[in-house]
Amino acid sequence: MAEELKVFRTWSSPFGFRIVHALKIKGLEYETILEDLSNKSDLLLKYNPIYKKIPVLVHNGKPICESLVILEYIDETWKQCPLLPQHPYDKAMARFWAKFGDDKIFPPIRSALFSQGKEQEEGVATAVGNLKFIEELLKGKKFFGGDTIGYLDLAFGWMANLISILEEIVDMKLVDAETFPLLSAWMSNFSADPVIKDCWPPRDKMVERFKGFRGPHLKKVA
């Protein structure tokens, strides 16, 4: 039986790209269902009745939700080009840092994007502080996964695209090459990878999209 593999996502969601990247790395064929979150499809609501969110991966009719859970599922189901490290300790570290990124880096960056003034500055300061831990992880490595892109690179992948977009929108620097030489190099290496590069939407479209999230009263910053 041919595998049925569907990805429900939006065209711009950084969490959706985690799944796209993983499937591309594994060399899997899949169908994309682009959702409009202001008018969610019946299928999305059926497949993710709890959170009603993208991304959802549907494999032979069975849905899997939550992007980090989906990444592990993909890696366990298709063994080629492993994403997670093999040793349990390295796996634990990858899981720990992926959760750290979602809990401690994404929220302050999101908060900075959605605010201005003191709240925005605090979001940036918190994000920069937590990014310093990430910088340390890259010592002696090209990717978080070592020589090749792995699970943690995909979990952090949104940073490579979104941080510079946020910097442009709020006119503040988060990741400069002097303070974050390794993270800056990783952002370039990750974005330049042929598999990753082909997936990103055009930068100007993404800037417009994320500017739109700020709401009219916040749009003009600089």
Query: If binding means CB under 8 A, how many residues of this protein chain bind its own copies?
Result: 21
Compute the least distance from the CB of residue 69 to its own copies, in Å: 5
Number of C-beta neighbours around residue 171 at 10 A: 9
Structure tokens at 151: 């699970």
- Spatial separation of the C-alpha atoms in residues 116 and 184, rounded to whole Å: 25
Residue 55, classed as helix, strand or coil, is: coil
The site string for its own copies over 77-96 (x = CB under 8 A, - otherwise) reads: x----------xx-xx--xx
Indicate which single residue of 46, 52, 62, 197 sits in contact with its own copies (rule: CB under 8 A).
62
CB of 23 to its own copies, least distance (A): 15
Going by the DSSP 8-state scheme, the letter that residue 146 receives in this structure is B
Residues 127 and 139: their CA atoms lie apart, in Å, by 20
Cβ proximity of 158 and 12 under 8 Å: no
Part of the chain binding its own copies (CB under 8 A), chosen from 68-76, 109-117, 202-210, 214-222: 68-76
Nearer to its own copies, 91 or 110 (CB): 91
Tokens for 220, please give them.
């003009």
Catalog residues that contact its own copies under the rule CB under 8 A.
50, 59, 62, 64-66, 69-70, 72-73, 76-77, 88-89, 91-92, 95-96, 99-100, 133
